[in-house]
């Protein structure tokens, strides 16, 4: 995480952590396999997908926040 940046937890409907994000700047931090860390910027209107077990979550950035929509895979 960048020093001085306020990140908040973004979670799916089951309460599982998807990433940490800064609503104002659009910066996102997530962990990949083997504890690798990734940071990237999402523009307003942009989105990305995270799959955790049987839940596919689309995280979308709006003007003010990030929103999560979940799809439960069978």
Contact 12, 48 (CB under 8 A): no
Nearest CA to 54 out of 31, 67, 69, 70 is that of 70
Q: What is the pLDDT of residue 73?
A: 83
Residue 32, pLDDT score: 79
Q: Which regions of the chain are under pLDDT 70?
A: 1-4
pTM listed for this prediction: 0.86
| pLDDT score of 31 | 86
pLDDT, position 4: 61
């Amino acid at each position: 995480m960048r020093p001085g940046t306020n990140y908040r937890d973004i979670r799916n409907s089951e309460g599982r952590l998807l990433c940490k994000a800064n609503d104002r700047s659009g910066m996102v931090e997530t962990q990949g396999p083997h504890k690798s860390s990734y940071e990237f910027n999402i523009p307003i209107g942009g989105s990305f997908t995270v799959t955790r077990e049987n839940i596919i979550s689309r995280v979308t950035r709006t003007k003010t926040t990030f929103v999560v929509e979940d799809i439960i895979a069978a």
